[in-house]
Amino acid sequence: MISILIPTYNYNVINLVKQVHKQALDAAINFEIIVIDDCSSKKNVIEENYYINSMSYVNFQTNEINLGRTATRNLLASKAKYDLLLFLDADVLPKYNDFITRFNLDKNKNCQVIYGGVCYYNESPPNENILRWKYGRERETKDIYTRKKEPYFIISQNLLINKSVFLKINSIETNTYGLDILFSNNLKKHNIEVIHIDNPVYHLGLEQNSIFIKKSLEAVKTTFLLEEKGLLANNLRPLQKSYLKLKKARLLSAFSFFISKFKNRMERNFQSKNPNLFWFDLYRLQYYIDLKSKKSA
């Protein structure tokens, strides 16, 4: 009935697999769990994860080369024997003990997409990880009523999707950060129904502040490049809309000048115990403006 698919890289998935395995058994459904390691650099983690091959209906495999998260997901989908695919990131854990049952698979066996949401623990992490934690809690954690207002806001850490729909929508295999926006855009473009339920996973893998800043700027660049290739509209993300407003008001230069005066102060703040997310938005917007300016120069 359901293929539970987990791409992993340098992350121990044993606890996650144990939890979803027990829940699937308790739900008395036909299932399989496939985990593919994307050529991890930490060989000890690979060896540890081989443990899950001793569990029933579980298959752990490794890529010989690093394909990236998106391509590995396509590989997982191609190996799945069931039509319903549940994609989970390696660094998550279900919030509820009846996580599998909450998808109501008997009723939703013909669904196209079900999104359960993502959440974060209330206890703050060390300061070196606090920017990612705060961003996740304030920007990614949304209750079901808020999510229904923007049904195509999808974070693919916790996604149940029909196999044929996934293979149609997950159309690009570039190994880069920030492709969820393209995935969401493709769902919208093809008028795929997205059902939202209260069934989140905790996101545990909090990057260090400096790494998250780098990945966030990479996501901005991905948005810019997708625009350039004609794969993404130029008014989907909030920073795209902000750019268009500044451009229409002829304030791009003034904005850039303003940010240049505070850039160093912003970067220090992002490493502090109380990072300012509004400043983080402005910081990323300035990077997007720089990319657009270099293109038109």
With H, G, I as helix, E, B as strand and everything else as coil, classify residue 288.
helix
With H, G, I as helix, E, B as strand and everything else as coil, classify residue 125.
coil
Q: Give mean pLDDT, residues 58-62.
A: 97
What gap in Å lies between CA 145 and CA 123, rounded to an integer?
Answer: 24
**Span 263-284, pLDDT tens digits:** 999 999 999 999 999 999 999 9
Range of weakest confidence among 60-74, 106-120, 171-185, 222-236 = 171-185
Angle at 213 between CA 229 and CA 45, to 5 degrees: 95
**Span 88-126, pLDDT tens digits:** 999 999 999 999 999 998 888 788 999 999 999 999 999
Distance of CA 296 to CAs 66, 228, 281, 289, 291, Å? 34, 12, 23, 11, 9
User: Cβ contacts of residue 145 below 8 Å, gap of 6+?
Assistant: none
| Strands, sheet with 92-94, edge to edge from the N-terminal-most edge strand | 92-94, 201-203, 118-119
What gap in Å lies between CA 261 and CA 194, rounded to an integer?
Answer: 43
Helix (H), strand (E) at residue 63: none
Task: Please indicate whether residue 294 or residue 258 has the higher confidence score (pLDDT).
Answer: 258
Range of weakest confidence among 44-53, 150-159, 194-203 = 150-159
For the chain, which residues make up each domain, given as ranges?
2-203, 209-296
Q: How far is CA 39 from the centre of its chain?
A: 20
With H, G, I as helix, E, B as strand and everything else as coil, classify residue 119.
strand
Range of weakest confidence among 101-110, 167-176, 178-187, 190-199 = 167-176
DSSP H helical segments within the chain, as ranges? Answer: 14-26, 43-49, 69-79, 130-135, 144-149, 163-169, 180-189, 209-228, 238-248, 252-270, 277-296
CATH code, residues 2-203: 3.90.550.10
